Structure 1
Amino acid sequence: MFPIPIDKWKPVTRRAYKLTLPLALLIWLLPMIAVLVTSVRSTEELSEGNYWGWPKHFAMFDNYREALTTSPMLHYFWNSVLITVPAVVGSIALAAMAGFALAIYRFRGNSTLFATFVAGNFVPVQVLMIPVRDLSLQLGLFNTVSALILFHVSFQTGFCALFLRNFIKQLPFELVEAARIEGANEWTVFFKIVLPLIRPALAALAILVFTFVWNDYFWALCLTQGDDAAPITVGVAALKGQWTTAWNLVSAGSILAALPSVAMFFAMQKHFVAGLTFGATKG
């Protein structure tokens, strides 16, 4: 039922696994390596057709400086911060309360509501493109940071509620009953007992939602026009020229856009792993 530990595999299988794992990892990292190498190539090399060879002249500082100065990259970056941080906080806050209600309370329609959260995660976002865009125009939110925050909170809350409901469901219900007997109200139970116990899950979920929202390109392209509210994912696409494209600048901009997500993961890696393994064992 459960995977067999590697040290208990047959010697031939274990040796084959250790030999193929680095190869699979290299293949998986090839696109990122190609982007990273292209970001340090000079424009002359790309004009000569040197796309795959080792760079003859490193132009890392020139490329990254030009990527930051030829377009309002810092403006795009700030827009992404303004969109991502409230979206992460809002979706996790709403999902924590919804997950608490779905996991703790017994009421008519509980299973139906939970099934709705589950089913919503299987709806392709492309199907909602036209209705969401029309709704943003009717509400006067088109091409605003508020629109992206609102719709990211709406779409991420379902996944977050499903995620947190399952974690809260694993907590001993006796803790909640004991707090109620001691006279604690529901908000006290939620803030003083449940939230501290699911802190690893909240940290893991914050990393996931941050990555989803920060790297979003689809909704940023549908709900923005111009540079006023465009996030950094749209800003990288703006580095493409009308007739020719400086791929070294596009690659440099892509690396800059990916750095916050990577940095946040490594900064919270311990909490992320703890959140994924939360409740996996029972003492």
Structure 2
Amino acid sequence: MTVDTAPPPTAVPASAPVVRRRGLRPGRIGVHVFLMGVSIAFLAPLLLAVYASLRPYDETSKYGYFSLPRHLSFQYYKEAFSDSGMTKYFVNTLIIAVPGVIITLFLAAFVAFAVSRLKMRGGIVLLMLFTAGNLLPQQVIVTPLYVVFNRIPLPYWMSDSMTMFDSYWAVILVQVGFQLGFCVFVLANFMRTLPQEILEAAIVDGAGVWTQFWRITLPLCRPAIAALCTLEFTWMYNDFLWALVFMSDGDKLPITSALNNLRGEFFTDYNLLAAGSVIVALPTLVVFLLLQRHFIAGLTLGSSK
């Protein structure tokens, strides 16, 4: 005769950690409510612009922008893209933003490496000077730069005006000059978090300064460079002041100026303008989505050190 015996219960060690579920505390709920409120406040203008761009102007003028839609279409997007000539302005913006970002990050990486990784005299002072350059209001030097650029000669193939004025080089140079300090500050602080033993091992193996910079330090700084690339492209892409001051030829203006072409002399269709604004914002959104993983890693890496 067989007797079925149940297996003895497994004894739980006294030292086993007890997992307790954390309840929702009032402070935690308040933080989430605050973050949701801030997110809605930031997204509200964008959502309203998208909502308005899908509705006819006659409908919003009669019922208001916060009324329920009667008719939705993408007609305004087609009109905004064709009426403003955005293709030409997109190309102008890329001519300014892409070289500006590349030159800025390339020079900033050199300076940051010299300040943070090489034992050079006055490195901290040099870093402070680059950082202090961000404190200067850009509008203060508009007039001096305007005078200087009109006196700097350029060959005809670089500028139709034979000077730095009314050329892409003027805007690129100003963008690089003003963004360089911020990039140096970020990259220098990021490079300080890298283990010094890596460079010491490379020096023992006979690596020179260029090898230490190009083949060892720069690959480790990829998250920080990607984060700066996203920020710098967004700032240079959205800039309107410098192109407006240093360019007299309307065909060279960047994409932000294309929105002015959607404004009439006596009447402005704000729904059409909203559609144009959404189209202009799309490239920066695409760049962020492509570099999102590196962007977040660049912002959080080293935060616990």
- Going by fraction, where is helix more abundant, 1 or 2? 1
Q: Given the alignment, which residue of 97, 110, 114 partners 1:101?
A: 114
Distance in 1 between residues matched to 2:107 and 2:278, nearest whole Å: 32
Q: Which runs of 5+ in 2 are unaligned?
A: 1-20, 153-162
Cα distance change of structure 1 residues 21 and 281 upon mapping to structure 2, 3 Å threshold: closer
Quick check: 1:83–1:148 contact (8 Å CA) kept in 2?
yes
Percent identical pairs in the alignment equals 39
Moved more, 175-184 or 97-106: 175-184
TM-score, with structure 2 as normaliser:
0.84
Correspondent of 1:57 among 50, 63, 71: 71
- Structure 1 gaps of 5+ residues are 1-6
Task: Please identify runs of 4+ aligned residues in structure 1 that moved more than 4 A.
Answer: 7-10
Query: Cα offset for 1:9?
Result: 9.1
How far 1:100 sits from its partner (Å)? 0.4
Which residue pairs with 1:268 in the alignment?
291
Matches within 5 A, 1:1-283: 11-48=25-62, 50-60=64-74, 62-139=75-152, 140-281=163-304
For 1:85 and 1:26, locate their aligned partners in 2 and report how far apart those are by CA, in whole Å: 32
Preserved contact between residue 83 and residue 261 of structure 2 (Cα < 8 Å): no
Change (3 A) 1:108 1:74: same
Could you report, residue by residue, the CA deviation over 1:80-134 in whole angstroms, capped at 9, with x for unpaired residues? 1111111111100000001001112233322221111111111111112222222
CA distance in 2, matches of 1:9, 1:108: 55
Contact kept? 1:144, 1:228, Cα under 8 Å: no
Q: State the Cα RMSD in Å.
A: 1.9
- Please tell me whether the aligned partners of residues 146 and 165 of structure 2 are also in contact (alpha carbons under 8 angstroms): yes
Contact 2:114 2:120 survives alignment (8 Å) = no
TM-score calculated relative to the size of structure 1: 0.90
Q: 1:239 to 1:50 in 2, by over 3 A?
A: same
Equivalent-residue separation in structure 2 for 1:33 and 1:217 (angstroms): 23
1:127 partner amino acid: V
2:214, 2:170 → 1: CA distance?
A: 29
- CA distance in structure 2 between the partners assigned to 1:47 and 1:19 by the alignment: 34
Which one is further off, 156-165 or 216-225? 216-225
Residue 49 of structure 1, CA deviation: 6.2
